[in-house]
Amino acid sequence: MTGDSDEPHTYDEELRSERDYVAGLYARLDAERARVKGRYSAALRGNGASLLDRDAEVRALGREVKRLDVADYGLCFGRLDAVSGERLYIGRIGLLDEDDDYEPVLLDWRAPAARPFYVATAASPENMRRRRQFHTRSREVIEFTDEVFGRPSSGERGDAALLAAVNAPRTEGMRDIVATIQSEQDEIIRMEHPGVLVIEGGPGTGKTVVALHRVAYLLYTQREQMERHGVLVVGPNTAFLKHIDHVLPSLGESNVVFMTPADLVPGLHAGAEDAPKAARLKGSLTILDVLKAAVADRQELPRDSLPIELADITVRIDAETAEWARQAARESGRPHNEARAVFREIIEYVLTERAIGRIGKGWLTRSDKQAWEDMRADLLEELAQSEAFTAALDGLWPILTPETLLAQLYSSRERLLAAGADEALWRADGTAWTVSDVPLLDELVDLLGRDKVAEAAAERERTAEARQEAAYAAGVLDLMVDRTDHMDDEDHLFATDLLYAEDLADRFVERDTRELADRAAADRDWTYRHIVVDEAQELSQMDWRVLMRRCPGRSFTVVGDLAQRRSPAGANSWNTMLDPYVPGRWVYRSLTVNYRTPAEIMSVAAAVLAEFAPAVQPPESVRACGVRPWSRHVSDGELPTAIKEFVRTEADRAGTSVVIGPPDVPGAVPPSETKGLEFDSVVLVDPDRILADGPRGAAELYVALTRATQRLGVLHRNRLPQALTGLAEGGAPR
């Protein structure tokens, strides 16, 4: 990039120069976008390439259009001046000068050369002389701040851009931090560790947004591997996912699937939560023994022999035969539904042997192998058409779906007892799925396996349809040929010279043109290259089995805070959850600086933390807001008015606000639904009732207290918990 020997010397001159440079970058962006959109439109119209090649080109160009579109916001956010005199402009994407040997005119923030923008300090300047950070509005540079390494910066603060960002009013969605990444965050974002990275940090430390920027970095540095399989981001609830779902697209990445733990089985969404005991039971690995026993319980033996009437004889399935067949099917190692074929084969063998022996008594021996096998074939065909035989098989070894087995297990105390399960798992409506049921249903997919017979029938149907389409296409070709009969032979161009029936029929085949993220989300067997798990302390051991199944390469970014755990089946330590899967392949990093919560509010939250987790050090706030948190005692009748007053006051201010409280408080959001979210202003209702829920309640109170970025108030109808008695009493300051 350019040197700085002709650099202007006054602030106004430099500001004009930077505005001109950034305007030039936008001109390049617009030109490149117009060029790519032109190619995209041409690809949509078709360019003579095969359908497969055209689909691939359309998708690739579509992704590039999206990448260029997201760059409009904050295209360039700073500049590095090297000791050598080189200037490097840092931005959301990279741009090249095609007229100057494709020299970079804007560096992608993920490029190695851009790293000093985030990590250079006066003590370790990384061969840089100055870092300049832009403050932009739309496409224009409004102002800039400089940090000169090696000497004081003449009153300018190097963290001005960071403080402006953390003090700015919040919007509905999480903002990316690409312009204000801090050194400890950048180290984590650029880690090349191939296994599991655990990022732990208290409220407001930016762990979620760091994890998302790490994904963007990995997608940049490992593009080919990542794009084939995509990335899965797992968050605690849909509100949280909505809050963060635009961060990666804003960084130019779209091959990302967002899910909650309740969504991990396609086609099923479970929103309810179990009682604590049931949640603990379902989340523990001991539930695996229950599931296996529940499957085995459905592999039954007949109490009495089951008669099967055939044309010439009646045969019977007795307990001894069923026991032999069941043992062989279990020893086959196949999942339940697939092992049914073994069970059936042995039953059929025994029944046909007995039938042949009785029918052929006195005239047929085994030495007449052909006659013996012919009779067996006839008998097997009779069994296949026998409703009684099919019913017997369905009773002894039924085809099961995960939903059927689990629902019938939960709603039957007898089946629970037979499976060795705790009675706390019983419920009247077996299909009232909870979040804790999802990993069990996923486990049962593997325990039960596929229904091979049904899949084979479906495949035969698809094949028959394809043949019908080919026959129809052949007829169309015949008509096309007939219509050319009036032409001279030398001018004759037959349709078959260009296209065969199968080729034409292939035009009718429906192709899957969905984006990778859509295809992955709908496919239970899809495996991802990388998975991000947010609020990971809430995941149970069974949840982790699901995620490990989705990522055979064991590449994870795990984000959480053990002090905020509310799930009775969640993590008490990271090694307990991870060592069974990645022993020696996971590393731990912590974030210690709170960028969200001002010191005044964090001191209140720290008092709560000290009571239920005294060994945990609260994160240090990077700023103060100058507004002291307050509390006010209200009666039952005064509470609705007080809440309305808060909502009305905040409506006149910039930013976002929320009322957090127990679920039965009208207009309040439960603390669990605010995890990972942030608001400019928060009013908390009845903290004593939240705290009454034991350790889980203490964690929820801690979460609720740390959602505010500017203002925090408490409305209480009973006495304040001891940890909150330091709040300013009387209400919000005017």
Q: Where is mean pLDDT largest: 80-94, 118-132, 250-264, 419-433?
A: 419-433
Contacts of 556 (CB under 8 A, 6+ apart): 195, 196, 197, 530, 531, 532, 533, 547, 586
Range with lowest mean pLDDT among 62-76, 106-120, 374-388 = 62-76
State residue 301 phi and psi, 5-degree precision. Answer: -115, 145
Mean pLDDT value of segment 396-414:
97
Mean pLDDT value of segment 499-517:
56
Check pLDDT > 90 for residue 44: no
pLDDT band (50, 70, 90) for residue 158: very low
Q: If you ran DSSP here, which 8-state letter would residue 666 be given?
A: T
Check pLDDT > 60 for residue 484: no
Return the higher-pLDDT residue of 287 and 117. Answer: 287
pLDDT band (50, 70, 90) for residue 99: confident
- Percent of the chain residues topping a pLDDT of 70: 84
428: number of Cβ within 10 Å: 7
What type of residue is 609? L
Mean pLDDT value of segment 153-170:
52
Residue recorded with tokens 């604590």: 276
CA–CA distances in Å: residue 317 to residues 308, 340, 481:
8, 15, 61
DSSP 302-336: -SS-EEEE-SS-EEEE-HHHHHHHHHHHHHTT--H
Range with lowest mean pLDDT among 285-299, 464-478, 551-565 = 464-478
55: number of Cβ within 10 Å: 15
Return the higher-pLDDT residue of 129 and 734. Answer: 129
Q: Where is mean pLDDT largest: 39-53, 164-178, 682-696?
A: 682-696
pLDDT band (50, 70, 90) for residue 534: very high
pLDDT at position 294 is: 98
pLDDT at position 154 is: 39
Q: From CA 330, how far away is CA 397, in angstroms rounded? A: 11
pLDDT band (50, 70, 90) for residue 200: very high
On whether the CB atoms of residues 420 and 265 are closer than 8 A, the answer is no
Check pLDDT > 90 for residue 8: no
Residue recorded with tokens 């199944």: 549
- Percent of the chain residues topping a pLDDT of 90: 53
Return the higher-pLDDT residue of 119 and 657. Answer: 657
On whether the CB atoms of residues 266 and 523 are closer than 8 A, the answer is yes
For the chain, the average pLDDT equals: 86
Q: If you ran DSSP here, which 8-state letter would residue 536 be given?
A: G
Helix (H) or strand (E) holding 45: helix 11-45
Check pLDDT > 50 for residue 499: no
- Greatest alpha-carbon pair distance for the chain in Å reads 117
pLDDT band (50, 70, 90) for residue 687: very high
Check pLDDT > 60 for residue 589: yes
Q: From CA 590, how far away is CA 568, in angstroms rounded? A: 24
Mean pLDDT value of segment 578-585:
92
Q: If you ran DSSP here, which 8-state letter would residue 533 be given?
A: E
Q: From CA 299, how far away is CA 342, in angstroms rounded? A: 13
| Sign of the alpha-carbon dihedral angle for 273, 274, 277, 281 | negative
pLDDT band (50, 70, 90) for residue 119: confident
pLDDT band (50, 70, 90) for residue 486: low
441: number of Cβ within 10 Å: 22
On whether the CB atoms of residues 314 and 326 are closer than 8 A, the answer is no
Return the higher-pLDDT residue of 118 and 326. Answer: 326
Check pLDDT > 90 for residue 452: no
Q: Is 233 helix (H, G, I), strand (E, B) or coil?
A: strand
Question: Degrees (nearest 5) of the Cα angle 65, 68, 73?
Answer: 135
Q: Give the bridge partners for 134, in sequence order.
A: 144
Q: Is 532 helix (H, G, I), strand (E, B) or coil?
A: strand
Residue recorded with tokens 């106004």: 12
Among the listed residues 394, 383, 395, the one whose alpha carbon sits nearest the alpha carbon of residue 303: 395
Q: If you ran DSSP here, which 8-state letter would residue 434 be given?
A: B
Contacts of 52 (CB under 8 A, 6+ apart): none
Quote the pTM value: 0.78
On whether the CB atoms of residues 539 and 216 are closer than 8 A, the answer is no
Contacts of 62 (CB under 8 A, 6+ apart): 40
pLDDT band (50, 70, 90) for residue 507: very low
